[in-house]
Structure 1
Amino acid sequence: MNIFFSGISFFRIPLILGNQPLRVKARYSLQLNYSFQALCLLLALSFGAAANTPAYDFSRADVAGLLEAQRRGELSAEHISEHYLKVIADNNPRYNAVITLANDVKAQAQQLDSARAQGKPMGALHGIPVLIKDNIDTADGMANTAGSVLLAKHFPKADAPLIQKLRAEGAIILGKTNLSEWANFRSSHSVSGWSSLGGQTFNAHDPSRSPCGSSSGSAVAVALGMAPLAIGTETDGSITCPAAMNGVVGIKPSLGLVSQEGIIPISALQDTAGPMARSVADAARLLAVISGEKLNKDDAKLKGLRLGVVANLMGYSPRTDAAFAASLDTLKAAGVTVIEGLELPNLDEMGNLEFQLLLWDFKDAIADYLATTSLPHKNLADLIAANRAAAKTAMPHFGQELFEMSEASKGRTEPEFAKAEARAKELAGKLGIDALINAHSLDALIAPTTGPAWKIDVLNGDHYGGSASSPAAVAGYPHITLPMAQTGDMPLGLSLFSGKGSDARLIAIASAIEPLLHRK
């Protein structure tokens, strides 16, 4: 079944072929473009030669292991940061996942090492580098741009609340990741992973293929080992699609679990930040920090677990369906009760309402955000005019149809706004996810996340085949994607979603399922 507005069908942002150099915030107050060689020199001057790093197998590193290595004195926060900066230097010129590096990485690491040496308690992410999607405010001299040249000089004065929580638990803010410009909400003819400021991000498994979006750089960076953790944001599919297509874990939490403050918005109705990592355990740890919730979970026992297969969230490709069927067989053999052939009703109506609501809400949401900045642009009309004035740079391959459609609306004062919001939430939640779970006594619903990554095609745009993201996105419910299999060396993801506030239970289920899945 084709779900027209499912996933990222209206969050796709075009990509151009070819990289722009990594923008690095220098120790001077200038934003400069560094070549690969200059970046390597900067890293060498800041940290010293990589050979000084103690021997440690970072290829299998997880957050728990990195924390324990620091406790034992085997690694320092400075050594850990040095390693991940070296991986960025080695890989970013080809994949273009990281758009900016923080200028104080070494200072952050040294402060944490000093605190540990003095016997102060280590936070939940002490010395762990985290990359941040470039639509989240940080007050450290890095611009927050949404990938747009219009926001290249937007330097927030305060950390977003989720960044404050990361710093409080000892995380090192390593840098910002490239994204689909404006979180894939500028044009209906865009291609995923491209921004006018950052250029094109490429899939971690095949640079000729799409990374999906809009949290493209975050997913690619984690997949390539540029950082153990990254933050993405999702309105509908922008965490789960790139996570699936790059073979990492992504969690879209329940709406409201993570603060929306300090994030360049699409709509408060659905926007949320969420974690990306190589394992469910690491993603869950990151979510606990940025939400401020303990998210205590009981271990999920596979035997007796009841999962419902959503049949009308399948059919993205024959290979995807075959891999999903094999995964279901594996789950059944482990004792999971799988209820097949279920359907979520009214998906087309839900998708149409969602699209209208996002268009309406964006007009006011972006004005609210711009009012907190010192930018010359104060509303959506200003952004539209600025894009036109800088069209050769800002819009070289596609336009701003979604901007214009949103501006033509009355925003949140549209007469049908409240009614449409209530109906969309009802269709996705009470009459959708909740109804299936209650009718069949299910622990969660399950489906393939999306198909394998398509070839980058700047002329024709994304070859998007649908995804499982929309019902949970519209309802405001949690959605986890984890690596399921590979087809032709490209990753496929498996999605789990359930009712509002079921984040901890869903994490427990994903943790139990994770070891069973065949990733190759």
Structure 2
Amino acid sequence: MLATAAHADGAIDPLTLVDMRKALDNGSITSEQLVSHYLDNIRANNRQGQNINALVTLNDNALEQARQWDAQRAKNPGARHAPLAGIPFVAKDNFDSKGLVTSGGSYVLRTSVPGQDAFAIQQLIDGQAILLGKTNMSELAASFGWFGYSSFGGQTLNPRNTRRDASGSSSGSAAAVAAQFAPIALGSDTSGSIRAPASVTGTVGLRPSIGLISRSGVIPLSLTFDTAGVITRSVLDQAVVLDVIKGQDKNDAATLDLASAQIQFVRGLSGASLKGKTIGIVSNFKGANPEVDAVFQAAQQTLKERGAHIVSIALPKGFESLWSDVLGPVGDAEFKPQFERYLATLDASQPRTLEQFVEQAGKNQAQNNEHGMNPARLSGLEAVLKAGTTDSPQVISILTRKIPQLREQLSAIMKQNKVDSLFFATLNCPPSVVHGVTDDSYVCTAGDTYAASYIASATGFPEITVPAGTIKGNLPVGVSFLGRYGEDAKVVSLGYAFLGR
């Protein structure tokens, strides 16, 4: 019987969310067994064993909540349940969680306990999913060279190779899913923070169209580019969760611009196929690592074998410098006012201004203890204190002219080439070596391995990354499908068809 065997021999790990739903509904497994299984995995490899360090906070009530769900099901065994009812999930530590610390990865906010849940967490809880805990992240969602390191949680390691990081900033979320600490992890993505960690851990991540998923209750980095999302083990799992967490939220105006109710993810997988599709192979970002290039080349062959027509597309050079031209200037200008707006929602014991926050971080740094901030991250915060404002001519020009032009230009390129999606290696290099560790096998000649990720960030278009292969060192490589605004279900279905499931 699955209920006993799954918990005893690890048979839970291969289950999809659809499998879990069926098993919970027919009584062959319990929510308590699911939660216990993942807690066992966490105890074995989070702070010992592999020392992945993906989880920074656990929900002490998770087991009891699971037992309560089981008791409710037992009263009405024939009832239909929501897709994720009784199923555990974890959330990046920049999502507000009622009753649990939300640090944003910063030791300064180590005692900050929000009074309500972020919208995306609330959507899951309303559907009776169970929050298992919070995941580590690059501090305040910006890595500054130390991917997956935070002064609150320390360094997250890549479960596939613990000498390498899990990229950033949703490092803990991707590592948690890859290490079987949870089947679902919420993350956020500003300039690649869901897609990069998913790519280097062999998991699936979508950066949705801006407005598909609410950002309310998520510590902001730059709301022009911020979005919430999810990391899962499969595209089917991704679709199941997206159908639950998408939706309009009066507290996030961006969600009011997208008819999310009309975007159906699980239904969109029905009949998913690459046959007859035209895929644009982006040629701009190759050449940084021969092994990654080989996986990308093999992925193109897979597209053809599955019936797709491929065309090569060289994007204008402007798409290679989006950090310096677009994301960097806007992000520097937006962070202070938006972060301070978030700080104003916290209780009086927390800093109220970025200046107060930086002052406290500096004091922690001077103590030279285990909770020191990445020095480059602290310098970055200090620089933002002196940065230009959102009403500077440069930022206004980027927001009102540059970004709309990029959207129009990219849409026109896709239309002219009659492509259903653009296709590229999510990152053109493998995961980098953990700070302080030596690994001479790392090869990367790219100035910025995230460069391709900035296209979706700058335009607000959807991009999904799916596993495409594994290179030397057991390091996964992901490939991305990027579509036009609102084509989220389409790119998810393309990822599903690419994997053949």
* Same structural fold, with TM-score higher than 0.5 when normalized by the shorter chain: yes
Identity percentage of aligned residues: 32
Give the Cα separation in 1 of the matches to 2:232 and 2:373.
33
**Residues 1:351 and 2:351 are matched in the alignment:** no
* Residues 310 and 344, structure 1, Cα contact 8 Å, conserved in 2: no
Give the Cα separation in 1 of the matches to 2:9 and 2:189.
37
| Greater RCO, CA 8 A, separation 6+ | 1
* Residues 150 and 374, structure 2, Cα contact 8 Å, conserved in 1: no
* Residues 306 and 339, structure 1, Cα contact 8 Å, conserved in 2: yes
- Paired AA for residue 304 in structure 1: G
TM-score normalised by the chain length of structure 1: 0.85
**Residues 1:443 and 2:428 are matched in the alignment:** no
- Of 122, 138, 150, the residue aligned with 2:108 is 150
**Residues 1:265 and 2:192 are matched in the alignment:** no
Shift in CA distance, 335/224, structure 1 to aligned 2, threshold 3 Å: same
Q: Name which of structure 1's ranges 226-235 and 450-459 shifts more when overlaid on structure 2.
A: 450-459
Give the Cα separation in 2 of the matches to 1:300 and 1:306.
14
Other-structure match for 2:491: 506
Give the Cα separation in 2 of the matches to 1:301 and 1:113.
38
3-state secondary structure, aligned to 1:315: coil
Other-structure match for 1:30: none
* Residues 147 and 182, structure 1, Cα contact 8 Å, conserved in 2: yes
Give the length in aligned residue pairs. 462
**Residues 1:112 and 2:69 are matched in the alignment:** yes
Other-structure match for 2:208: 253
- Of 195, 201, 206, the residue aligned with 2:156 is 201
1:274-289, aligned counterparts within 5 Å?
A: 274-289=229-244
**What is the Cα deviation at residue 106 of structure 1?**
1.5
**What is the Cα deviation at residue 427 of structure 1?**
4.5
- Paired AA for residue 417 in structure 2: H
3-state secondary structure, aligned to 1:191: coil
- Paired AA for residue 482 in structure 2: F
Give the Cα separation in 2 of the matches to 1:445 and 1:153.
44
Other-structure match for 2:252: none
Other-structure match for 1:44: none
Shift in CA distance, 459/204, structure 1 to aligned 2, threshold 3 Å: closer
Which runs of 5 or more structure 1 residues have no equivalent in the other structure?
1-49
1:375-386, aligned counterparts within 5 Å?
A: 375-386=349-360
- Of 76, 83, 90, the residue aligned with 1:124 is 83
* Residues 150 and 373, structure 2, Cα contact 8 Å, conserved in 1: no
TM-score normalised by the chain length of structure 2: 0.88
3-state secondary structure, aligned to 1:59: coil
**Residues 1:164 and 2:142 are matched in the alignment:** no
Shift in CA distance, 305/404, structure 1 to aligned 2, threshold 3 Å: same
Which runs of 5 or more structure 2 residues have no equivalent in the other structure?
248-260
* Residues 70 and 77, structure 1, Cα contact 8 Å, conserved in 2: yes
1:63-462, aligned counterparts within 5 Å?
A: 63-93=17-47, 94-119=51-76, 120-139=79-98, 141-184=99-142, 188=144, 190-292=145-247, 293=261, 294-295=264-265, 296-297=267-268, 299-352=271-324, 353-374=326-347, 375-391=349-365, 392-393=368-369, 394-395=371-372, 397-399=374-376, 400-432=378-410, 434-450=411-427, 451-458=429-436
Q: How well do the aligned residues superpose, as a CA RMSD in angstroms? A: 2.1
- Paired AA for residue 417 in structure 1: V
Other-structure match for 1:466: 449
* Residues 84 and 225, structure 1, Cα contact 8 Å, conserved in 2: yes
Other-structure match for 2:255: none
- Of 432, 437, 460, the residue aligned with 1:476 is 460
- Paired AA for residue 355 in structure 2: A
Give the Cα separation in 2 of the matches to 1:429 and 1:156.
36
**1:155-213 deviation digits (Å, cap 9, x = unpaired):** 0001111111101112110000111111116xx4x310111111111011111111101
Other-structure match for 2:251: none
**What is the Cα deviation at residue 421 of structure 1?**
1.3
3-state secondary structure, aligned to 1:390: helix
3-state secondary structure, aligned to 1:83: helix
Shift in CA distance, 55/385, structure 1 to aligned 2, threshold 3 Å: closer
Give the Cα separation in 2 of the matches to 1:248 and 1:506.
16
3-state secondary structure, aligned to 2:191: coil
**What is the Cα deviation at residue 342 of structure 1?**
2.8
* Residues 229 and 277, structure 1, Cα contact 8 Å, conserved in 2: yes
Other-structure match for 1:18: none
* Residues 54 and 79, structure 1, Cα contact 8 Å, conserved in 2: no
3-state secondary structure, aligned to 2:22: helix
* Residues 350 and 427, structure 1, Cα contact 8 Å, conserved in 2: no
- Paired AA for residue 171 in structure 2: S
Give the Cα separation in 2 of the matches to 1:438 and 1:496.
16
3-state secondary structure, aligned to 1:213: coil
**What is the Cα deviation at residue 377 of structure 1?**
0.9
Other-structure match for 1:10: none
3-state secondary structure, aligned to 2:284: helix
**What is the Cα deviation at residue 303 of structure 1?**
1.6
**1:361-409 deviation digits (Å, cap 9, x = unpaired):** 0011101100111143112111111111111245455142221222112
Other-structure match for 1:515: 500
Other-structure match for 2:256: none
* Residues 308 and 445, structure 1, Cα contact 8 Å, conserved in 2: yes
**1:433-461 deviation digits (Å, cap 9, x = unpaired):** x1221111111000001121122233999
